[in-house]
Structure 1
Amino acid sequence: MTLSPKNRVRRRRLGVATAAAGLLATLLTAGPALATPDPGDGSVKKEKLSSGEAAQDRSAIKSGEIPGVDEIVHSDNIEHLINVPKGALKGTNTDISFQGKYAFAGNYDGFTIYDISNPRSPKTVSEVLCPGGQNDVSVSGDLLFLSTDSSRSDNSCNSKSQSATVKESWEGIKIFDISDKRNPQYVAAVETACGSHTNTIVPERRNVYVYVSSYYPNAAFPDCQPPHDGISVIKVPRKAPEKSAVVGFPVLFPGDGGNPGSPTNPGVSQTSGCHDITVLPSKDLAAGACMGDGILFDIEDPENPRVIERVQDNVNFAFWHSATFNQKANKVVFTDELGGGGAATCNAEIGPNRGANGIYDITGKGDKRELAFRSYFKIDRHQADAEVCVAHNGSLIPVKGRDLMIQAWYQGGISLWDFTDSSKPKEIGYFERGPITLDRVTTGGPWSTYYYNGHVYSNDIAKGLDVLKINDRRTDPAKKVKLGELNVQTQPDYFDDDDDDDDDDHDD
């Protein structure tokens, strides 16, 4: 759904930034080393636009087809409450996790903890400087898990960038004790093959299992040797995280190793691991977005996940990026990161089916379950040639009887959409900013946009944290659902989970 310009609610300036009370700029001091973005969520070649492309963008702004530079526009059912600019961490903002009244926001330079008890005025509690892109983050109890997928000189937060050809280089999972939100403590590290681009946790009472997604092996990398056709599984004892260790590397693509990519399948990524995994512990189910493949697997034994279905789309999908189950676990939404997070793909030339979400119904039972393709969904709000736009991280909005999702699209902004009818998905709301600049292709916009306890939180790559409120009768029932913890890649069973106590305030 595209709302006409007259229905757009326009804001000439960004929201007023809140004061970052109690800011701790560097809890863990490190040098000025910058993490190197990795393919899959990579750096953008800031290509200068041609004079014709720049002129087209300016014309589109003048006509009202796209918003002006840094202008905010949104549908009338989306309210922008506030923007909190970046603090001490100036790198690329990435994923978000939640616990009680706190949000934990990843950044290529480390992570930030926000107090979101008042969503209209979030406060920065602490910032941890610990470079190591992309610093994908998950939390469980007193533990925080941070992914490092850029080769470092060692596992400390003082490490420097170092070639992966050096055996002593390090990549993997860092573990922090966050019982004191104002002073997180780095307590353990586990090296994993090819690093950790993303992590997904399977929490249990005594242990937390961490599924580590990584890819792009190379014979020249001592710690990232081909074939790399699986994931690392880490077991973390809650009471002794220093004893954390890799307990397995299940092979997910036995035999052929996964999609061969080009030239067999032109334009499709060769599978050499997974980019991201979403688990649904209440159903012992997981979905993996694995470069050239989408998979469904059984996680009844969390140390030994078992693939039960695998699909490919060699026509329209370039890079299987992430996955989201619906509440009934009879659908999966897979996203395609066309252009690797570095291209303007939301335009008429690319079209509606490439760089889109793929909606699959789960049919059958047990080991006979299959993924049946139903449709694509892509925002139809065309973006400027200067705007990197791609399907990215989103979450369910918990409403019984409906399949609703809020999703980040980089500079395509935020999309609120309905896939209750798998074959006829539709956008029902949006929020976006205009281009950062008009002279070159530049990355920016929301990396992760998630619904948590009545509000939407969005980690904007360049602008910081945005808080939104949805005012729509279709999403109103979700306001009754309260969680004590949310890692979007560890999907809760929203309507059977009674654990909504805020019991993590050890530092208050």
Structure 2
Amino acid sequence: MPRLSRLLPCLLFLAGLLPLSASAQTAALTSPSSSGAGGFGHALAMSGDVLFAGEARSIHAPGRVLVYRWTGDAWEQHAELTAAEAEVGDGFGEALAVDGDRLVVGASSSNAAYVFDREGETWTQTARLTPPDEAVAGPKKRAFATSVAVDGSTVAVNVTDPPFTFDPGKGAVVVFEEGRDGWSPGEVVAPAERVDGDGFGDAIGLQKDELFVSAPSANGNAGHVLRFVRTDDGWQETETFTGMNGQFGTALHLDGDELLIGVPGAMNRVGAVQIARRSQDTWALQDTLTAGDESQNGRFGQSLARTNNFTWVGAPGTEKNTGAVYRFPREGGRSAERLVHPASTPGDRLGGALVGHGDRIVAAQPGQNYGARMTGSSSITAFNASTNTWSDTPISAPSRDIFTAVTGEKTTCSGGKASLFDCKEVDLLSFLPVDAISDTPGVRVNDVWGWTDPETDRDYAVVGRVNGTSFVDVTDPMRPVYVGELPMTEGTEAKIWRDVKVYENHAFIVADNVGKHGMQIFDLTQLRDVAEEEQPKTFEATTIYDGVHSAHNVFINEDTGFAYVVGSNGGGQTCGGGLHMVDVREPTKPSFAGCYTDVGTGMTGTGTTHDTQCVVYRGPDERYQGNEICFASNETAVSIADVTDKSNPKNLSRAEHPRSAYIHQGWLTEDQRYLFVNDELDEMSGITDRTRTMVWDVSRLDDPQLVTEFFLSVPASDHNLYIRGNTMYQANYSSGLRVVDVSDPTKPREIGYFDTLPFGKDAPVFEGAFSNYPFFESGIVVVTSMQEGLFILKKADPEM
């Protein structure tokens, strides 16, 4: 997976790595709030003593909205709402707005907004609103209903860019009116001067005949807010508000004659809130609220709410994303009181969403449990302004456990299925869900490698997690055993990227964007001595190489005993993000050996390497036989280098393709004549509508030639591929493991697959199979699937 901070910072919600940028607010006392990522509580709304919390982005179940009722001393679940035509991945619950007995639910993955009306104690779906063709027409992909607003019989819904777009388009708002004959087709409201990528519609305020729409990315992320009024000729633009630079309008809260405008990027992301007030029919910015403590990266103003006596402001970035909520007296108060939940920890992002009514305020913690948007294990928490206390018990969504371990016997792929999973010519030997190899809610897995103990011949899968590494004995592949874990380096943060390789009975582990992690080195022979009653045992690193702090990846040339740490950042000798070469011939005494950086490659031109394979060259180019050659995937090109002399590495060539988006990773055929390369983002960016692998002839290392592009039948993004013999094994996110015959490298042919993500479509998204390891002598293939767990697979035996 690419470090998107180099590419698209606004899209980092998948990993919870940066503060979220969209917050949908509406009019009235019951303004909803959204933190944008779709896990439980990322969207909130409140009507009197009823609280709504969306859980839109489970990839294993349809989206839902949980309804809670205030009992006088606690919030108790009252109902669960889903779309009438609910399906996995529908996004239902991504945005919420409520006005009295009417609730509007956004579901951008379904391109729909749903209207629910209350009769008695029951909420019933009464309408499904979809955008008129003119709102989504054009060559660029559009998403509908990431932000919604409601005022009586009027509903406003935005049209914006879908997640991970590489070609942002023009935003709009569609206003629907309910009449005697039902709902109108919708009037498209847009600014007079429409600009691609300005975020128009990210937040909406609606009240009677006034509509306020923000464009927080306008003018280089300075942002502005536009006001529209309803006339006999439709909605007319009347004025534009500009204020402090820094995503002005990320959040809106419209309350009578006052409009609160969140500016979380102001003052170097310290953040601010500006207040516009109405005098007759004229609005003007009149006041500014700040946190007072100027917490850097606090993003004060990310979310907004009002209660009887207070204005509330969320600052989810404070204290290393622990988050905080600030309250100001409504009448003339600029002095803030900072409220921090006593149980919040770094990464929880308290205040990522807010909603209030009366004396009650509810705050989301969208980053809790590693931003567990897939598992529902994040929570929301309530504060009672009258008693000045936080609730003792967080508000959580009921569990929807989908997966249980599959062990004990082989599940044959038959009729295109093995248990829940689609397959072809690949059998399921066993499966351990994430919670079977980690005891922390919300954990996801990432990389995987393997180790065979030379003394006992036992096989182990070394499984990366967001918060550490798990060791699983797979010697009996139908009865895997979770032996133990190595936690992440103390003082670092849990993030989605962890990478591991094995050399001389030691695991070498790096993690990206996490702080001073270093390269953990762990003596795997310790696994021999773990008694059954100790399992899973928690270990400590044998040693830590501190020449780098964070890094994206590591590769080890087992023939030479050199490790290549790539994508280094955050401190130490980063080598410009290129190859940081380490002598690990004595694994517990690693030493820096040199740098190689191909300046001019990489998204920023600094030579950043995402992944690499380094070999003692035995290929057809006789000039370099016996030399150590690296094939570095450098985001924009493959950089081929001779690193035999670590003090003087030499670039030999670049393999560049004019239609590439992100050169991610590659692997050589065993004769070292061909290099198979994946481009992780070409499917997402629209370069191709099917999974594509590029095949390069590298028989002349100074002149690589593209010989073919191999396409699968599905649009999933490709991630990590490895070749053993004449077979290539690709971990391709939402389409799982793909098995490809490469006996003729110029004519690859898919021969099997196992889809580790059993629900939803094979879309180009960062979900599903992350990596695989096909090099055990037994022929098993271990696959990590991010939210699902560890799969132990094997190609089906040929029929006799």
Task: Give the TM-score of the pair, scaled to structure 2.
Answer: 0.42
Q: Does 1:138 align with 2:501?
A: yes
C-alpha distance 200-304 of structure 1, shift in aligned 2 (>3 A): farther
Could you say which residue in structure 2 is the equivalent of 1:279? 614
Unaligned runs of 5+ in 1: 1-35, 57-66, 153-169, 262-268, 383-388, 477-508
2 CA distance for matches of 1:337 and 1:228? 22
Counterpart for residue 230 of structure 1: 578
Gaps of 5+ in 2: 15-36, 39-56, 58-90, 92-106, 113-127, 131-415, 453-458, 531-536, 619-627
**Which AA in structure 1 matches 2:723?**
L
> Deviation at 1:420?
3.3
For the structure 1 residues 436 and 247, does the alpha-carbon distance in structure 2 shift closer, same or farther, using more than 3 Å as the test?
A: same
Post-superposition shift, 1:51?
Answer: 6.0
More strand per residue: 1 or 2?
2
Compute the displacement of 1:304 (Å).
Answer: 5.0
CA distance in 1 between counterparts of 2:637 and 2:466 reads 27
Q: What is the CA deviation profile of residues 327-363 of structure 1, one whole-angstrom value per residue up to 9, with x for unaligned ones?
A: 1000001111107xxxx749xx65357x621100113
**Corresponding residue number in structure 2 for 1:375:** 708
* 1:438-462 Cα deviation digits (max 9, x unpaired): 8x99743111123132111101111
**Structure 2 Cα separation of the partners of residues 470 and 143 of structure 1:** 28
Distance 1:280 1:413, change over 3 A: same
Match of 1:464 among 754, 774, 789: 789
Conserved? CA contact 2:757–2:788, under 8 Å: no
Describe the superposition over 1:258-281 as per-residue Cα deviations: whole angstroms up to 9, x where unpaired: 25x5xxxxxxx7554100011223
1:363 to 692, 699, 716: 699
Distance 2:748 2:467 in 1: 37
Matched residues in 2 for 1:293 and 1:135: separation?
A: 23
Q: How much does 1:238 deviate? A: 1.9
2:460 corresponding residue in structure 1 = 102
* Counterparts of 2:769 and 2:785, CA distance in 1: 4
Deviates more, 1:319-328 or 1:228-237: 228-237
Larger Rg, first or second structure (1 or 2)? 2
Contact 1:449 1:459 in 2 (8 A): yes
- Say yes or no: does 1:455 pair with 2:780: yes
Work out the CA distance in 1 between the residues paired with 2:585 and 2:520: 14
CA RMSD of superposed structures (Å): 3.6
- Which residue of 399, 418, 423 maps to 1:74? 423
CA contact (8 A) 1:172 1:189 kept: yes
Separation in structure 2 between the aligned mates of residue 446 and residue 105 of structure 1, nearest angstrom: 13
Aligned positions, number? 369
- Please tell me the residue identity of whatever aligns with 1:313: H
Q: Distance in 1 between matches of 2:757 and 2:558?
A: 40
State the AA in 2 paired with 1:326: T
1:291 equivalent in alignment to 2:635: yes
Q: How does 1:32-431 map to 2 (within 5 A)?
A: 44=14, 48=91, 50=108, 52=110, 71-75=420-424, 77-86=425-434, 87-88=437-438, 90-100=442-452, 101-130=459-488, 132-133=494-495, 134-152=497-515, 170-181=516-527, 182=530, 184-192=539-547, 195-203=550-558, 208-214=561-567, 228=576, 230-238=578-586, 241=588, 243-253=589-599, 257-258=600-601, 270=605, 272-281=607-616, 283=618, 284-301=628-645, 304-315=648-659, 317-338=660-681, 345=684, 351-352=688-689, 356-364=692-700, 369-382=702-715, 389-398=716-725, 403-431=726-754
Query: Residues 48-71 of structure 1, C-alpha deviation per residue, up to 9 Å, x if partnerless?
Result: 453645899xxxxxxxxxx99x94
1:237 CA displacement: 5.0
Q: Which deviations, in whole Å up to 9, do the C-alpha atoms of 1:286-329 show, x marking residues without a partner?
A: 211011110222243456543212121132x1111111000100
**Conserved in 1, the CA contact under 8 Å of 2:451 and 2:505?**
no
Identity of aligned residues (%): 21
Q: Which residue of 2 aligns with 1:61?
A: none
TM-score by length of 1: 0.64
1:321–1:337: 8 Å Cα contact kept in structure 2?
Answer: yes
Residue 302 and residue 119 in structure 1: after superposition, are their counterparts in 2 closer, same or farther (change >3 A)?
farther
Residues 86-109 of structure 1: CA deviation (Å, up to 9, x unaligned):
222552212222121111111111
Partner of 2:166: none
Give the C-alpha shift of residue 231 in structure 1: 1.9
Contact 1:171 1:192 in 2 (8 A): no
Tell me the distance in 1 between the aligned counterparts of 2:469 and 2:732: 21
Deviation (angstroms), 1:187: 2.7
TM-superposed CA distance for 1:376, in Å, is 1.6
Q: Partner amino acid for 2:720?
A: N
Does the 8 Å CA contact 1:190/1:246 hold for their aligned counterparts?
A: no
Measure, in 2, the Cα distance between the counterparts of 1:180 and 1:212: 25
Structure 1 residues 71, 43: closer, same or farther in 2, change over 3 A?
farther
CA distance in 1, matches of 2:684, 2:758: 14
Match for 1:394: what amino acid? L
Q: Is the 8 A contact 1:271 1:292 kept in 2?
A: no
Question: Which whole-Å CA distance do the structure 2 matches of 1:106 and 1:51 have between them?
Answer: 30
Aligned-partner Cα distance in 2 for 1:310–1:37: 23
Task: Output the amino acid matched with 1:137.
Answer: V
Q: 275-284 or 117-126, which moves further after superposition?
A: 275-284
Distance 2:450 2:657 in 1: 33
* d(CA) in 2 for partners of 1:311, 1:116: 38
Are the counterparts in 1 of residues 597 and 608 from structure 2 also a CA contact under 8 Å? no
Q: 1:441 to 1:416 in 2, by over 3 A?
A: closer
Residue type matched to 2:500 in 1? Answer: V
Amino acid at match of 2:707: R
Residue 203 to residue 43, structure 1, CA distance change in 2 (3 Å): farther
- The change in CA–CA distance for 1:203 and 1:81 in structure 2 (over 3 A counts) is closer
Which AA in structure 2 matches 1:126?
G
Q: 1:80 to 1:270 in 2, by over 3 A?
A: farther
Give the 3 Å change call, closer, same or farther, for CA 37–137 of structure 1 in structure 2: farther
- 1:446 paired to 2:769: yes
Between 1 and 2, higher relative CO (CA 8 Å, sep ≥ 6) is seen in 1
1:203 positional shift: 3.4
2:756 and 2:769 in contact (8 A); partners too = no
The answer as to whether partners of 1:229 and 1:252 remain within 8 angstroms in 2 is no
CA distance in 2, matches of 1:434, 1:145: 28
Q: Is the 8 A contact 1:72 1:431 kept in 2?
A: yes
Question: Measured at CA, do residues 186 and 441 of structure 1 come closer, stay the same or move farther in structure 2, by a change above 3 Å?
Answer: same
CA gap 1:370/1:472 in 2 versus in 1, 3 angstroms: farther
* Conserved 8 A contact 2:772-2:781: yes
Residue identity opposite 2:664 in structure 1: H
Provide the rounded CA distance (Å) in 1 between the counterparts of 2:540 and 2:617.
31
Alignment CA distance shift 1:332-1:244 (3 Å): same
